[in-house]
Structure 1
């Protein structure tokens, strides 16, 4: 998988990483929506029982200071306030009998709540 930083057009070794499986799922969701102008935005917001909550959503906006990374045609956008909390985080997609959905493995999270919805 080729990962490029759109600001410098150089390979990326840090920041948020989207696995091939997750990139494929995002592509299929975008195709189902009939949209090719959207990016996957990941943000960290105050909330949840552990203090911070992840937000993953499709976004057509680009804000000043956004980090934009291309993962095989899928743009992942992170705002400048969330990026320090997400450096080195990996977004994957799991589809098993026990669980289905996007997962975030974040080395910056020192703990999370029992439901896994928030972290600190």
Structure 2
């Protein structure tokens, strides 16, 4: 269930990733601190880490061929077409507690993950 978006060849898919309201507020605040309105949160999966694959979250202004774009209250989350199968159904949250601080990813596709939570298989 993908449809073409307004920007080039980008696609929108409701099932790729979910950004919680708390995470969306944090991402929006971080983008505002950068003083730019062209940035989006890019979520990618790259080889590496102790479990084989590693998550990457970073701000990006690029639009790549095959990108899947989801909008969460004015915050765009972009996933490249190679990472999309690994991230389908994943939830990105932001924690600010004593035991956890920063962005977290709950990924139903991860069969195993390392103790640090930075990589998965």
TM-score past 0.5 threshold = yes
The equivalent of 1:59 in structure 2 is 60
Structure 2: runs of 5 or more not aligned:
7-11
Q: Which residue does the alignment assign to 1:80?
A: 81
C-alpha deviation, 1:15, in angstroms: 1.0
Deviations 1:4-59 (A, max 9, x none): x77358x9541111000000000000111111110000000000010000000000
Structure 1 segments of 4+ aligned residues over 3 angstroms from their partners: none
| 2:9 paired residue number | none
> Any stretches of 5+ residues in structure 1 without a counterpart?
none
Total equivalences in the alignment: 115
SS in structure 1 opposite 2:15?
coil
CA contact (8 A) 1:14 1:88 kept: yes
Relative to the length of structure 2, the TM-score reads 0.89
Question: Normalising by structure 1, what TM-score?
Answer: 0.90
